[in-house]
């Protein structure tokens, strides 16, 4: 996600995987963007929905952050991958 595209109050997603080798078991995170840290430029603050825990990411770490379109793309790729693996 590009730092210039982030909108305060918007909902974003993160996708990790329980199994780093086959990437067959996704773990989804949902968070709200709170804004850029005033005292530390290029540090972005997100709040995990459900727990209220905070996540701080630098500009260089924003590739973890997905908007809804990005989430659909990642999950679509995952679905295609597991379908191929099941047919083998």
Predicted pLDDT of residue 88: 64
Average pLDDT estimate for 59-88: 90
The number of domains in the chain is 1
Run of H or E including 47: strand 43-48
pTM check: above 0.95: no
pLDDT tens digits for 41-61? 889 999 999 999 999 999 999
Angle at 29 between CA 25 and CA 32, to 5 degrees: 165
Range of the domain at 59: 3-87
CATH number at residue 7: 2.30.30
* pLDDT category of residue 29 using cuts at 50, 70 and 90: very high
Q: How many CB atoms lie within 10 A of CB 58?
A: 13
């Amino acid at each position: 996600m590009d730092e210039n595209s982030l909108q305060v109050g918007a909902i974003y997603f993160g996708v990790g995987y329980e199994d780093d080798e086959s990437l067959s078991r996704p773990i989804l995170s949902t968070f709200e963007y709170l804004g850029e840290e005033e005292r530390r430029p290029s540090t972005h603050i997100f709040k995990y929905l459900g727990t209220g825990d905070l996540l701080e990411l630098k500009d260089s770490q924003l590739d973890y952050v997905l908007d809804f379109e990005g989430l659909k793309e990642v999950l679509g790729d995952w679905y295609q991958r597991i379908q191929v693996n099941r047919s083998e």
